[in-house]
């Protein structure tokens, strides 16, 4: 099957169409693209070391107990997400640090549902510890940003070597710290 670039290839892969080179982007990959591109490249090579430590320190680990009586998990192809009982997609983060990565992860879920399953939903980004919630809608602007991010992720994970290390506040707690700074 001939496709027109990474977005079409991802959609064909998601729909189970025959694709020469299947291409998958998970919600976590979208998040990492906005956290650290070098980390995403390592992760794409399955260089998994101590993810637990990094996610806890950064405050990006999903709080398993928040809204547990009001949400149900859904797996659809390459994404796993949580739905509230009012139908909105919820992404729970313990902290509002790293807002853009969380917003893009949620926007990707909304885009994927819309494009792959023809299901149109709104999202809510929840920070229960801070008693904060923010609505996320799949605007045209967000669609463009999600699709340009998919193309950029495709280019990044197909590079033969990772992008150079750039110091970030959470590098000391990163699973790949020793690959960057030792
Ligand atoms: S140590 Fe810092 S630069 Fe290196 S992968 Fe982790 S977050 Fe990125």
Distance separating alpha carbons of residues 108 and 57, to the nearest angstrom: 24
Q: What is the pLDDT of residue 53?
A: 58
Q: How confident is the model at residue 127 (pLDDT cuts 50, 70, 90)?
A: confident
Cα 52 to ligand 1 centre (Å): 15
Strand partners, 126: 92, 133
* Atom nearest to 179 CA in ligand 1: 4
By the 8 A CB rule, do 125 and 136 touch? yes
Task: Count Cβ neighbours within 10 Å for each residue of 73-103 and write b for 16 or more, e otherwise.
Answer: eeeeebbebbbbeeebbbbbbbbeebeebbb
By the 8 A CB rule, do 31 and 104 touch? yes
Closest CA to 93 of 107, 76, 84, 106: 106
Residue 87 DSSP symbol: S
Q: What is the pLDDT of residue 78?
A: 94
Distance separating alpha carbons of residues 81 and 58, to the nearest angstrom: 20
By the 8 A CB rule, do 151 and 116 touch? no
Higher pLDDT, 78 or 4: 78
Cα 142 to ligand 1 centre (Å): 26
Q: What is the pLDDT of residue 97?
A: 78
Mean pLDDT of all residues in the chain? 87
Which range scores top for mean pLDDT: 16-20, 109-113, 130-134? 109-113
Cα 43 to ligand 1 centre (Å): 11
pLDDT per residue as tens digits for the range 92-125: 887 777 889 999 999 999 999 999 999 999 999 9
Residue from 31, 33, 35, 36 whose mutation best tests the ligand 1 pocket (most atoms within 8 A of CB): 36
DSSP 27-85: HHHHHHHHH-HHHHHHHHTT--S-HHHHHHHHT-S--SSTTTTTEEEEEETTEEEEEET
Question: What count of Cα atoms within 13 Å lies in the side-chain half-sphere of residue 126?
Answer: 20
pLDDT per residue as tens digits for the range 45-63: 877 666 555 554 555 555 5
Closest Cα to atom 7, ligand 1: which residue? 171
Cα 177 to ligand 1 centre (Å): 6
- Ligand 1 site: residues with CB under 6 angstroms? 36, 38-39, 165-166, 168, 171, 174, 176-177, 180
* Atom nearest to 162 CA in ligand 1: 5
């Amino acid at each position: 099957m001939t496709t027109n670039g990474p977005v079409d290839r991802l959609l064909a892969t998601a729909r189970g169409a025959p694709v020469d080179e299947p291409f998958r982007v998970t919600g976590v990959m979208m998040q990492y693209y906005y956290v650290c591109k070098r980390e995403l490249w390592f992760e794409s090579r399955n260089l998994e070391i101590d993810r637990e430590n990094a996610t806890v320190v950064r405050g990006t680990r999903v709080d398993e107990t928040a809204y547990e009586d009001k949400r149900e998990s859904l797996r659809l192809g390459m994404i796993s997400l949580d739905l509230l009982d009012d139908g909105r997609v919820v992404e729970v983060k313990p902290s509002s640090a790293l807002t853009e990565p969380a917003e893009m992860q949620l926007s990707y879920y909304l885009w994927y549902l819309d494009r792959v399953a023809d299901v149109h939903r709104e999202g809510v980004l929840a920070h229960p510890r801070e008693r904060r919630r923010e609505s996320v809608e799949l605007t045209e602007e967000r669609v463009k940003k999600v699709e340009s991010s998919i193309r950029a992720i495709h280019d990044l994970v197909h590079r033969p070597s990772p992008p150079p290390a750039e110091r970030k506040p959470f590098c000391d707690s990163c699973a790949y710290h020793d690959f960057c700074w030792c």
